[in-house]
A = this chain, B = another copy of it.
Amino acid sequence: MDTALELFAEQGFDRTSIRQIAAKAGISLGLLYNYYPSKEDLLKEILVRGRQDILQSFEKPEGLSPYQYLEHHIRTTFRLMEQNKNFWRLYHSLRMQSEVLKALEREVQAENHLVLQLLSQNLAEAGSANPTIDAVLMFATIDGVAQHYLILPEYPLQEVIESYLIQLKNHLAT
């Protein structure tokens, strides 16, 4: 499964053959099929497992101000992503092709909705004049930074995060 994730992330789902996965994992084709009934199922399990991280980024430690919670969410998101880069690479590569991801469409939508709600609520509490749109924008910013970080070598992730947090704080203070 880890091997599969690695190959899917590097080469893309369609360009990776089951045979390649089995070979790299050091097991036989047949054994792979004992574990996963099909290539799509394998993908699905990878996706399901990978997305469990997301829930973690929602956890709210006690005693945080709205802004602090937003900061916490952002930092957590990127920390988890750093630990699982290949998964996120795969996820982003599948995102545009509705068909492959369709199996998880509902979950993805639910999670997106949850993220937006979380963001907008905290933005509202933190004083945003237009929390809904601000949340949408914030989500997009996080996503955009994430994607650039995953694609580009030597991306100055930490600095970008810090810079963004400063902007955010200023924005909310206005």
A141 — which chain B residues lie within 8 A by C-beta? 137, 140-141, 144-145
Cβ of A147 < 8 Å from any Cβ of B? Answer: yes
- Nearest-Cβ distance from residue A166 to partner chain B, whole angstroms: 9
> Which B-chain residue is minimally distant from A167 (CB atoms)?
B171
User: How does the 8 Å CB contact mask read for A147-174 relative to B, with 1 for contact and 0 for none?
Assistant: 1101100011001100110010011001
Count identical subunits in the complex: 4
Assembled-state Cα–Cα distance A140/B156 (Å): 12
A136 at interface, CB cutoff 8 A: yes
A96: nearest chain-B partner, CB-CB? B93
Bound CA–CA A159/B130 (angstroms): 10
A89 within 8 A of B: yes
Are B133 and A140 in contact, with the CB atoms below 8 A?
no
For residue A16, give the distance in angstroms from its CB to the closest CB of chain B: 10
Choose one: B12, B139, B156; the contact of A133 (CB below 8 Å). B156
Chain B proximity mask over A113-145: 1 for CB below 8 Å, otherwise 0: 000000000000000001001101101111111
Shortest Cβ distance from residue A43 to the other chain B in the assembled complex, whole angstroms: 13
Q: Does any Cβ of B come within 8 Å of A95's Cβ?
A: yes
User: Interface on A for B, CB 8 Å cutoff?
Assistant: 9-12, 14-15, 89-90, 92-93, 95-100, 130, 133-134, 136-137, 139-145, 147-148, 150-151, 155-156, 159-160, 163-164, 167, 170-171, 174
